[in-house]
Each structure stands twice: as structure tokens, then as C-alpha cells.
Structure 1
Amino acid sequence: MPSERLSVVVTRRLPEPVENRLKDLFDVTLRDDDTPMTRAELIAAAQNCDVLVPTLTDQIDAGFIGQAGPRLKLIANYGAGVDHIDIHTARQRGVLVSNTPGVVTEDTADMAMALILGVTRRIPEGLGAMKSGDWPGWSPTAFLGGRIGGRRLGIIGMGRIGKALAQRAAAFGMQIHYHNRRRLRPEIEQQYNATYWEDLDQMVARMDVISVNCPSTPATFHLMNARRLKLMKPTAVIVNTSRGEVVDENALTRMLSAGELAGAGLDVYEYGTETNTALRDLPNVVTLPHMGSATVEGRLEMGEKVIINIKTFADGHRPPDQVVPGLL
């Protein structure tokens, strides 16, 4: 690598300590406001920098990479998910891609647990009544939810976040079940007292709560499609803190509206910020604005990983969190 400082472009506002550290180490261009770059702005940035630091709001597709300048050698993503980046095209063009895995595991698991509680105990409905001033007083039959102790939790995707959720849910007395591409080792299953289901359909049909914790890949697109959602018990709820496109949002909306499912807790959406109004307005649905990783600690740690990846690359080594297409 050349001795001069790397030219780094950051596409969104990051926590101030992260931006200050980037300025200390690199020739960095920061975003003045916290709005996504236009595609034209992204392409212009990629034509004149060594390193691009995008977020999940930036579409780094084949067309974009094809228009990037020859200087661009590293895309240091601020976040763990990389489904918005065409990893294969980047590799063909000699551009490395890194991410920030493992940082928000605890935060996302916390949010999944919060959504399970929020839906089953009808917390937003109670909050709404208090905020509006419509609460007439305590009643033996008002806001009746369900006890989560003893309920069966089916985790789709038993990776870092799935395991962290299992640990939390077990503390609440839930029974842990899971479906995964590969079965966990017996000692890990024993650690979480988790029951493995090879057949996802069979698991879905028997759970009280389904939590979606798998990454977005071609194989997981609409994994919870209309047919599979209909297998769920009418008293069951579904929670999604992974990627919106794993769940068929239109089918989910129809079933919730028809009373064929008890509820849903969502932090991610199939169409990004274009949330389904009919879904958002249902009383048995808790919707959050993609807050799963929104902790000060998590966002600072994400920034630290980005900096380490860039610094390692600048020193002539492979970034420790390099994303390899074959391992996705």
C-alpha cells in the first residue's frame, strides 16, 4: 500500500467518536447530514476513494461496482448484514468487502425478547391507552395477554443471535426449539436445552412463538411464505428482527387482519421504509423502526470494527472481517 493516508468516504453520519477516530487515521470524507446518499453521489464517491464505508441503506450492486474508480479496493461495511452489497461482483473486480459481525448480537437478542413480550402482553395497546387518556381504570378483563413461561419458542436460525435469544427466553421459562441449516453439536443443544427440528414445517405448526433470526439469502427469501404462515397456530405470534424479506409481508398482513394469527412483532420490513400501512395499524402488531442494533455501545463497537478492518487493510493485510462469498 502507498505510504500516504487512504482516502475514505463514509456514506452516513456515524457516532462522533467513530468519526473523530477516522479523521485521525485517514483522509476521510464524512457526511454532513444524516440522509442517504443518492446513487449519483455514491458513484461519484466511489470513483475517487480507496475505501467506501456504506450502510444497509446503500445499494452496492453490480452496476454501482462497475462504475467505481480503479482506486476503490475496500468496501468496509458499517453493519453485519451484506445483502445490499454484490459480494461476487466486488470480488471479480478485485474489491474486498468487510463487515462488523458479532457486535450487535446481544442488542438484537434483547430486542427480539422485547418484541415477544410486547406482543404477548399487549404492551403497545396499554401504552396507547395511557398516552391518549382513554384508560377508564383497571378491569379484570382489560388488556388480557398471555404468560410466556411454558410457551414453545421456535427459533429460525440458531446462529449468534438465535443462541443469545434462546438464553434470554429460557430465563423466562420458555421451551426452546430451533431450525437451522445445520444441527448444533449435542453439547451446544444441551447448553441451551434446545430441541432441533429438521423439518421447518413441522416446527412452525407446533410453536407458540416463532422468531426469525436467519440472514437474507436467495434460499431464505419468503422462507415464511403464505403456505408456511398458515401452518402456524391461530394463537401463535411471529417476531422478526433479521431481514424483512424472509417473511411474506402481504400474506402476514392478510392473516393478521383475518384473525388467523394472534400477533406479530416486527423490527424489519420487506419493503424497507415503505411499511405496509394496513400492517402497521393493526392492534395486534408491534412495529419498530429497525432499532435492533440501536444502542450506543453497539454502534461504537461497529465503528471500531470498521476502523480495524480499514487499518489492517492499510497495513497490507486482509481485513479480519473480510466477507468471503463462499461462506455466506
Structure 2
Amino acid sequence: MSNLVADGPLRVLVARAVFPDVIEPLRAVAEVETTPDDAIATPEALRQRLADKHGAFITGSERIDAALLDACPQLLVVSTMTVGVDHIDLAACAERGVTVTHAPDVLTETTADFGFALLLAAARQVGEAERYLRAGQWKKWSVDLFAGADVHGATLGIVGMGRIGQAIARRAAHGFNMRVLYHNRKRLAAHLEDDLRASYRELPELLCESRHVLLALPYSPAAYHLIGATELAQMQPGATLVNIARGGVVDETALAHALHSGHLGAAGLDVFEGEPAVNPALLAAPRLVLTPHIASSSIPTRRAMAQLAVDNLVAVLQGQPPITPVA
């Protein structure tokens, strides 16, 4: 933690509109500046707002890099209400003595619920079927109308077996009687594999054996386009791909091609490489369910995420250890 002494009252920026009652405890330890969602649309706007602040409450939409830190020399702590921290230059923060905290655990189950919902919606062509009905195209019943793939009893390959991946594995194995394979940077302990009814595979093996593949890994430079044209070709014909990790993990142009060619049966994406902008190739792709990064978006979970971010800020600004520092 930085030894920098504040020149007067502590000051905190809350970079997004968030639950006012959750933010209120911050006011007991610092002057708090809140902002509407559209107030910080550029990196320069964020730098200007943070220039005289000691603490920052951010989401995944605000990027903290070396240039910003140099322009904000009084910054002591950055608290993000996300679990992922790929929007924060951790090395630059460490060099400048800025504490970084995040919000693990509190969003695990809600995100796993959504990941499974996206898998079901993609595999069973829910999105296309709804659009077809709303457009007035449903004129008769037929045997093969939006006939998708079964999820129950199928093989699910999970790439990334952290908290969220494990929660999805439990739903798959114990709720849908699925065969679960997983790939992870580090293999799980044998007792945990037994509990999850999950078997380890190298990535090419997982892609070849799985009817459905779900991405739940943290983002890093090594994960950039981990799933590209080569990997998509390794997947079974008619397979389903779901991404709730980060957009950059998937080569979106290659994914669109695999859907257009018919090699992939379906896909579901909650994250995008250039979000909130979406690759036009995806918008034109068939059998693809798209959602705007809402996997953790239930009211109880979003409140819990914000609360943990506030609790971390209060602790650090009062000279106490952070509750959930980034390891």
C-alpha cells in the first residue's frame, strides 16, 4: 500500500451510476464524487475526474493504465466491482504503490446460472425461434422446426475451471447428467475432480470430444484468440460454443465463418472483443445468441459486487488491509 499522505480530506470517484445506499458508507471516510454512466466516456475524462482523487470505484468499462496513474499521483486505491482485472495495469499500479481490489466469489453462482442459460438458449435455438415468431413467420408446426441439440446427457467441455467453471460443472454433471471435461492452466486435485465428476483434457482433445464448449477462463495476453479458426475446426460438426469469459478469447471473424459454413451448430456470446461495439460479422451470423455482458446481472449480485468494492475502499482508506486484494 502507498505511504502517500493525503493533502486534506480523502476524495473518491465513483465512476459509474451505482446503488446510492451501497455507496453511502464511503461518505463517512471520504468526499465522494458520483457520476452518471455517460459522464466518463473517454480516457481523458477519467483522468480529469481522478486527478485529485485518492480512491476510485470502477467497473470493467474504465481502464487504469500507466498514463492515467501518472496523471493521478494522489491515487491510493483502485477498487473494481468486477472479478476480472484485465482492464487494470497491475504492474503499473504495483510500481506506484496503488492497491488494487476486485470482487471475486460474490458473482460466481449468478454468472454460472447465466452461462448455462446461454448454453441452453444457443443449443436449442431460442433466439432465432423467438425472432421468427415475433416476425410473424410461424404459420405451421413441423417436425424439424428449430430442432437444436440436446444438452442433457451430452458432453460439456469447460475451458477455465476456476470458481465459475466449477459452478457450471456442478450444474452440468449433477443437474443435467452431462459428461464434463475441462481444460485449465492447472489440473484440479483428484478429490475435486471426483466431486465435480469432471475429467481433465488438453485443449485439442476437449474440443474434439465435446458437443458443447463453454469458455470461463480469465483473460490474459496468452488467452488472446485462444479459440481461432484452427480450434473451431477441431470442434465437432454441429457443436455449440459459449463465451462468458472475455471477448478477446475468441476470434470473432472465424466464429462467424464457422457458423455461416454450418460447421458449428450454434454459439452464444455475452462478451465481445470491442465491446460495447460488436463485430458486424457476428450480427450477420446465423444461430448465434448475443447478450450485452450481463452474466452477473441480477439485482442481488450486482448489489453484492458494489458492496464489496465499497468495503474494500473503506478498508484501505482507513489504513486497514483490503478485503479482497488482487493476488
Structure-1-length-normalised TM-score? 0.93
CA distance in 1, matches of 2:80, 2:164: 19
2:42 maps to which of 25, 38, 41: 38
CA distance in 2, matches of 1:322, 1:43: 23
Seen in structure 2, the aligned counterparts of structure 1 residues 233 and 79 have a Cα distance that, compared at 3 Å, is: same
Please give the residue correspondences for 1:191-210 in structure 2 after superposition, counting only pairs within 5 Å: 191-197=195-201, 199-210=202-213
Seen in structure 2, the aligned counterparts of structure 1 residues 139 and 24 have a Cα distance that, compared at 3 Å, is: farther
Seen in structure 2, the aligned counterparts of structure 1 residues 137 and 20 have a Cα distance that, compared at 3 Å, is: farther
CA distance in 1, matches of 2:164, 2:237: 26
Partner of 2:95: 92
What residue ranges of structure 1 are gaps of 5+ in the alignment? Answer: none
Overall identity of the aligned pairs, in %? 35
What residue ranges of structure 2 are gaps of 5+ in the alignment? Answer: none
Determine helix, strand or coil for the equivalent of 2:278: coil
CA distance in 2, matches of 1:224, 1:78: 27
Deviation of residue 3 (structure 1)? 11
Question: Does the Cα contact within 8 Å between 1:253 and 1:279 map onto a contact in 2?
Answer: yes
Structure 2 residue 43 is the aligned partner of structure 1 residue 47: no
1:302 maps to which of 305, 311, 325: 305
2:70 maps to which of 66, 82, 105: 66
Question: Does the Cα contact within 8 Å between 2:69 and 2:75 map onto a contact in 1?
Answer: no
Determine helix, strand or coil for the equivalent of 2:242: strand
Question: Does the Cα contact within 8 Å between 1:15 and 1:299 map onto a contact in 2?
Answer: no
Deviation of residue 114 (structure 1)? 0.7
Structure 2 residue 12 is the aligned partner of structure 1 residue 8: yes
- Report the AA paired with residue 177 of structure 1: L
CA distance in 2, matches of 1:147, 1:209: 10
Partner of 1:111: 114
Deviations 1:117-143 (A, max 9, x none): 101111112211222222113222211
Seen in structure 2, the aligned counterparts of structure 1 residues 316 and 23 have a Cα distance that, compared at 3 Å, is: closer
Provide the alpha-carbon RMSD of the alignment.
Answer: 1.7
Determine helix, strand or coil for the equivalent of 2:93: helix
Structure-2-length-normalised TM-score? 0.94
2:296 maps to which of 293, 304, 311: 293
Deviations 1:227-270 (A, max 9, x none): 11111111111000010101111111111111121111000011
Deviation of residue 211 (structure 1)? 0.4
Please give the residue correspondences for 1:1-328 in structure 2 after superposition, counting only pairs within 5 Å: 6-69=10-73, 71-170=74-173, 171-197=175-201, 199-324=202-327
Q: Which moved more, 1:132-141 or 1:89-98?
A: 132-141
- Report the AA paired with residue 306 of structure 1: A
CA distance in 2, matches of 1:220, 1:252: 16
Deviation of residue 24 (structure 1)? 4.6
Question: Does the Cα contact within 8 Å between 2:23 and 2:310 map onto a contact in 1?
Answer: no
Deviation of residue 102 (structure 1)? 1.3
Deviation of residue 2 (structure 1)? 6.6
Aligned length: 322
